[in-house]
Amino acid sequence: MTTPSAGAHATSANRGLTAYDAVVVGAGFAGIYAMYRLRKEGLKAICYEAGEGVGGTWYWNRYPGAACDFESVEYSYSFDEQLQQEWKWSTRMARQPEIKAYLDHVTDRYDLRRDMRFSTRVTAAHFDDATSLWTVSTDRGDRVTARHVVMATGCLSTPKPIEYPGADSFKGEILRTAFWPKEPVDFAGKRVGVIGTGSSAIQAIPIIAEQARHLTVFQRTPNFSIPAGNGPLTEEQDRLQKQAYADLRRREWDSDVGICAKLAPDTRKALDCTPEEREAEYEKRWAAGGLYFYCSFVDLLVDKEANRTITEFAQRKIRAKVKDPKVAELLVPKDYPFGAKRICADTGYYETFNRDNVTLVDVKSTPIREIVPEGLKVGDQVHELDMLVFATGFDAMTGTLLNIDIVGRGGKRFKDHWGDGPRSLYGIMPSGFPNLYITTGPGSPSVLYNMVLGNEYHVDWIMGCIRHLERHGSTTIEAKPEPEMQWRETVNAIGKMTLFGEASSWYMGDNVPGKPRVILPYLGGFRSYKKICDDEAASGYPNCVVA
């Protein structure tokens, strides 16, 4: 398949630039699959990636303990049955090195690397009204044109900056989970501080505690964490899973969360069950490990009373694990509903606070003031440290896109378009930016669905748009402004029907000072979302302008 040659309409501005049918930004799960599909469709595509290799989030986040928090048999590509059958995971929930190795394998298996440029960050994408081409620029001086731009930039790819003064004065070493060094980090004999208690910190803390002389955890808000229950994947389990792969994938595509391998999401309401039935369900899912617990009942995130039952269950579990009641009370979330902040999965997280070499410091009641040469100053007290680890999260879902200078039709600036929060049709197509597509962006189920399958779905949908243009001899497709606005209102209205707004979280943009407070993912569930997007394509893109 070919699109009208990208070089055919060169203007003085883009003449002489290498012309591609598509530029893909990012070589994580989405970017790799986008390159596979574009190549398969006979398109000339290039992928730019800031990291030195493929992996995206799994390239950068190589901190100790980094691992998937649901089954890798699900958190993996579904597009090629042979690939599924040949890859063998060593554990139920693969650790970062294995996920990175898997993505390297996929990249090489389909010979995608030759069209990827690493250590290269896309800095700008400008649309030319005269030629309907994008000019894409990078920090290494590349300038190319493309008919299509696929922003496979990930949801958690722009770490928050260090928000305290004095980092330069620190005599020890500063580390960040989201930019972890490739060389092993030696904590032995060191006094280590970790700021943050989200998913990254919760995975790293037990491992650091085992090695360090002393670990001080600086906690602003406690999180709910479920035991991961990770362990080796036996030959027999692997064989059985592979036998049943087709059925598993069918169930995932037909579910709202895309996680079904061990326990399917329950379809009952918590409040329709007796307390004993609820308790049994919670116990079963807690024991299953990881995110299955989250899917115990369907009303947990829309009904406060239902949520209270799971919140209290999880609170009891935390209290039972921590010996010092004062420390336990600090670790128990009390100010927000279970699940309204991203839940975590851990291996021995709460138990770590029973160790003699671990201290928990509450920095909500007494905030951090600054980093000083000897360590971290909290209130008037200096905590002396040799290493300080920032696990403080990301400018999630919007940060990376807003850092790129994107200019659309008629000079429309993307930063202005998203000035009061993100807007795009189905989370994929922002209006005024023809042929520019976002994978698993805000306004789509995104981080609340299996991210690998969500990315596959979006790439396939985008390929559908490109094929539609080809079939009709058209050049551009872009969202109409009104349906885009309606979609945004739908996303917000559904968000308001849930309990997500009752927590301060990155789902709502709360973690980044000054970021507009809006619900970022679409909370209507993947099934309904998929139907809406499938219908749009099947009926010839009525909510888009095709020209």
Residue with Cβ nearer ligand NAP (41 or 329): 329
Residue with Cβ nearer ligand NAP (165 or 411): 165
Q: Which long-range contacts (CB under 8 A, 24 or more apart) does 12-15 make?
A: 13/128, 13/135, 14/128, 14/131, 14/133, 14/135, 14/145
Please identify, among the stretches 61-69, 352-360, 452-460, 481-489, the one whose residues bind ligand NAP according to the rule CB under 6 A.
61-69
**DSSP structure class, residue 230:** -
Name which of 508, 533, 500 is nearest 428 in CA terms: 533
Please identify, among the stretches 9-17, 184-192, 196-204, 413-421, the one whose residues bind ligand NAP according to the rule CB under 6 A.
196-204
Residue with Cβ nearer ligand NAP (158 or 221): 221
**DSSP structure class, residue 146:** E
Angle of CA points 312, 314, 320, to nearest 5°: 100
Applying CB under 6 A, among 35, 67, 260, 518 the residue interacting with ligand NAP is: 67
What residues numbered 133-192 form the site for ligand NAP, per CB under 6 A? Answer: 156, 163, 177
69 binds ligand NAP (CB under 6 A): yes
197 binds ligand NAP (CB under 6 A): yes
Residue with Cβ nearer ligand NAP (219 or 435): 219
Tell me the C-alpha distance between 520 and 426, whole Å.
12
Applying CB under 6 A, among 201, 248, 328, 494 the residue interacting with ligand NAP is: 201
Applying CB under 6 A, among 44, 342, 423, 515 the residue interacting with ligand NAP is: 342
Residue with Cβ nearer ligand NAP (200 or 439): 200
CB 242 within 8 A of CB 218: no
Applying CB under 6 A, among 78, 138, 200, 352 the residue interacting with ligand NAP is: 200
Tell me the C-alpha distance between 23 and 14, whole Å.
15
19: helix, coil or strand?
Answer: strand
Q: How far is the CB of 217 from ligand NAP (least distance, A)?
A: 10
Dihedral sign for Cα atoms in the order 478, 122, 150, 530: negative
Tell me the C-alpha distance between 100 and 58, whole Å.
6
277 binds ligand NAP (CB under 6 A): no
Q: How far is the CB of 336 from ligand NAP (least distance, A)?
A: 10
Name which of 338, 182, 350 is nearest 270 in CA terms: 338
Place of tokens 């030629």: 131
- φ/ψ of 71, rounded to 5, equals -60, 135
Applying CB under 6 A, among 363, 389, 429, 466 the residue interacting with ligand NAP is: 363
Tell me the C-alpha distance between 215 and 219, whole Å.
13
Residue with Cβ nearer ligand NAP (68 or 328): 68
Half-sphere exposure of 435 (CA within 13 A, CB side): 31
Q: How many residues bind ligand NAP (CB under 6 A)?
A: 26
What is the number of the residue whose Cβ is closest to ligand NAP? Answer: 198
What residues numbered 389-408 form the site for ligand NAP, per CB under 6 A? Answer: 391-394
Angle of CA points 139, 405, 467, to nearest 5°: 95
Q: Which string of x and - marks every residue 498-537 that binds ligand NAP (by CB under 6 A)?
A: --------x----x--------------------------
Rg of the chain over all Cα atoms, to the nearest angstrom? 24
CB 76 within 8 A of CB 453: no
Residue with Cβ nearer ligand NAP (187 or 336): 336
Residue with Cβ nearer ligand NAP (26 or 198): 198
Residue with Cβ nearer ligand NAP (139 or 335): 335
What residues numbered 74-133 form the site for ligand NAP, per CB under 6 A? Answer: none
- φ/ψ of 328, rounded to 5, equals -60, -45
Q: How far is the CB of 191 from ligand NAP (least distance, A)?
A: 19
Residue with Cβ nearer ligand NAP (333 or 421): 333
Angle of CA points 55, 56, 61, to nearest 5°: 90
59 binds ligand NAP (CB under 6 A): no
434 binds ligand NAP (CB under 6 A): no
Tell me the C-alpha distance between 106 and 129, whole Å.
37
Applying CB under 6 A, among 220, 269, 284, 527 the residue interacting with ligand NAP is: 220
Q: How far is the CB of 240 from ligand NAP (least distance, A)?
A: 24
Query: Residue ranges of the alpha helices (H) in 182-234?
Result: 199-211
Q: How far is the CB of 202 from ligand NAP (least distance, A)?
A: 7
In single-letter form, the type of residue at position 47 comes to C
CB 45 within 8 A of CB 33: no
Q: Could you list the residues that contact ligand NAP (CB under 6 A)?
A: 67-69, 156, 163, 177, 195-201, 203, 220-221, 342, 363, 368, 391-394, 447, 506, 511
